[in-house]
């Protein structure tokens, strides 16, 4: 019996000791610190960390930004500055002294051509003009006689018809003379010549020469091509997606043959249709004198986009993360454990044009531009805190 009492006492003692040990091993619930779980778009920093990261906040601005658009194209001459020279009546080349590249003035003789038909036209013109002088005198005389009832109406009609026919003949032959470069108003008998000069219709330089001495040229043959390089224009090719980025009056900077020299132009017309390859043309007038720019040259151009008032931030305030663009906005100040903390919220944006260190941004709906305080400096440090998940936050 005594043995059983001792055994029961030992068992009870062991149970009490175990119970006390378990009770002493548990900590009060008040001593367990709760761990705060921050949202995915929040970055938290202490005051000293904010200073170390160089965080500065400010307002979102509305600025006038002008972007640039890189395009290519060619130099062309306006139709009125490009002349194809022919001889309407043909002839044999008697002389010419021009070579491609020579400078010519409007009205300057380019070549001398000979043709028997030139003589015939001059002769017929002078004969018809002499007959017209006589017919005009007869017409005036018969008109006066008809008024005095001395001459019949029938005879007056015959004289009138002959006078008008000769007048038309002289006018037509005069136009033929003008066609070969002879002024009919000042033409006299002593001026008859088998050779006439082919003159330049514009000032410029000779682009091509297609004749030589003794060669017969037909009316359809091109003898010379003259180009005036003082007024050139650019024909530039743009993609369809850039159609809304250009308008008349925009300035263009362009370069030729990989040269460093910069030339200027002003856009004066945009295309009115899209080509099958989804491109369209715009045209710009070359400003100033560009001596080394000639038609047909290939150019690389930069179009300065129109300045528009857009929502913008300093480019360093925008960071990229996982192929998206973000800005950080002040969310709130708080205190934990007697220490001040600040929370910043990541907000996804879409970037536009960049100019002068500022970038256009498209903000999500619902963001108040008036009250939002954006991190202007130190955004990359906040992104590092986000990536490192706690290296900068506590």
Domains of the chain in start order, with CATH, are 42-65+309-388 (2.40.420.20), 69-79+228-306 (2.40.30.170), 116-185 (1.10.287)
Rounded CA separation 330/341 (Å)? 12
What are the backbone angles phi and psi of residue 245, rounded to the nearest 5°? Answer: -100, -5
Give residue-wise pLDDT tens across range 38-50.
Answer: 787 888 888 888 8
310: tokens are: 């857009």
48: tokens are: 């000293």
161: tokens are: 């018809």
Portion of the chain with pLDDT greater than 90, in percent: 28
Is the pLDDT at 362 greater than 60? The verdict is: yes
Reduced to 3 states (helix: H, G, I; strand: E, B; else coil), residue 390 is coil
Is the pLDDT at 4 greater than 50? The verdict is: no
Give residue-wise pLDDT tens across range 133-152.
Answer: 988 888 888 788 777 776 67
Give residue-wise pLDDT tens across range 320-336.
Answer: 888 889 999 988 888 88
Residue 57 CA from chain centroid, whole number:
38
Please classify residue 282 by burial: count the beta carbons closer than 10 Å to its beta carbon, then call 0-12 exposed, 13-18 middle and 19+ buried.
buried
pLDDT at 213: 93
Do the bridges between strand 56-58 and strand 358-362 make them parallel or antiparallel, or are there none, so unpaired?
A: unpaired
Residue, of 27 and 338, whose pLDDT is higher = 338
Rounded CA separation 112/97 (Å)? 10
Rounded CA separation 73/237 (Å)? 6
Buried b (16+ CB within 10 A) or exposed e, 320-353: eeeeebbbbbbbeeeeeeeeebbbbbbbebeebb
Q: Choose the weakest-confidence range: 61-75, 142-156, 207-221.
A: 142-156
pLDDT at 273: 83
Is the pLDDT at 383 greater than 90? The verdict is: no
pLDDT at 310: 81
Give residue-wise pLDDT tens across range 221-243.
Answer: 999 999 987 788 999 998 887 77
Q: Find the DSSP H helices in 180-227.
A: none
Q: Which residue has the tokens 């002078």?
A: 126
353: tokens are: 């044009």
pLDDT at 27: 46
Taking all residues of the chain, what is their mean pLDDT, rounded to a whole number?
A: 82
pLDDT at 212: 93
Widest CA span of the chain, in angstroms?
188
DSSP sequence for 256-313: ETT-S--EEEEEEEE-SS--TTSEEEEEEEEES--TT--TT-EEEEEEEPPPEEEEEE
Spatial contact of 229 and 294, defined as CB atoms under 8 Å apart: yes
pLDDT at 6: 45
Rounded CA separation 249/268 (Å)? 6
90: tokens are: 């043909």
110-138: average pLDDT = 92
């Amino acid at each position: 019996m005594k043995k059983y009492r001792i055994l029961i006492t030992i068992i009870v003692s062991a149970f009490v000791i175990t119970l006390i040990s378990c009770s002493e091993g548990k900590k009060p619930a008040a001593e367990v610190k709760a761990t705060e779980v921050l949202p995915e778009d929040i970055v938290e920093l202490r005051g000293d960390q904010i200073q170390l990261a160089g965080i500065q906040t400010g307002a979102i601005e509305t600025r006038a930004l002008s972007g640039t658009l890189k395009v290519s194209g060619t130099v062309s001459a306006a139709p009125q500055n490009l002349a194809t020279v022919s001889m309407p009546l043909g002839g044999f080349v008697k002389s010419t002294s021009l070579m491609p590249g020579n400078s010519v003035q409007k009205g300057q003789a380019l070549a001398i051509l000979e043709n028997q038909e030139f003589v015939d036209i001059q002769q017929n013109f002078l004969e018809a003009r002499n007959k017209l002088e006589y017919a005009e005198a007869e017409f005036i005389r018969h008109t006066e006689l008809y008024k005095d009832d001395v001459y019949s109406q029938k005879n007056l009609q015959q004289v009138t018809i002959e006078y008008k026919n000769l007048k038309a003949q002289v006018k037509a032959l005069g136009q033929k003379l003008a066609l070969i470069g002879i002024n009919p108003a000042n033409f006299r008998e002593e001026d008859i010549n088998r050779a006439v000069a082919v003159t330049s219709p514009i000032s410029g330089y000779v682009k091509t020469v297609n004749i030589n001495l003794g060669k017969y040229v037909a009316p359809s043959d091109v003898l010379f091509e003259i180009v005036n390089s003082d007024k050139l224009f650019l024909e530039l090719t743009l993609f369809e997606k850039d159609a809304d980025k250009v308008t008349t009056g925009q300035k263009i900077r362009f370069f030729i043959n990989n040269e460093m020299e910069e030339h200027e132009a002003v856009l004066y017309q945009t295309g009115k249709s899209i080509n099958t390859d989804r491109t369209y043309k715009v045209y710009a007038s070359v400003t100033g004198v560009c001596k080394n720019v000639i038609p047909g040259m290939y150019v690389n151009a930069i179009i300065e986009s129109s300045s528009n008032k857009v929502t913008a931030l300093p480019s360093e305030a925008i960071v990229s993360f996982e192929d998206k663009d973000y800005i950080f906005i002040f969310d709130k100040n708080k205190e934990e454990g007697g220490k001040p903390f600040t929370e910043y919220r990541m907000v996804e944006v879409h970037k536009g044009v960049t100019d002068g260190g500022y970038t256009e941004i498209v903000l999500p709906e619902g963001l108040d531009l008036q009250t939002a305080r954006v991190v202007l400096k130190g955004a990359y440090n906040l992104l590092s805190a986000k990536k490192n998940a706690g290296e900068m936050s506590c």
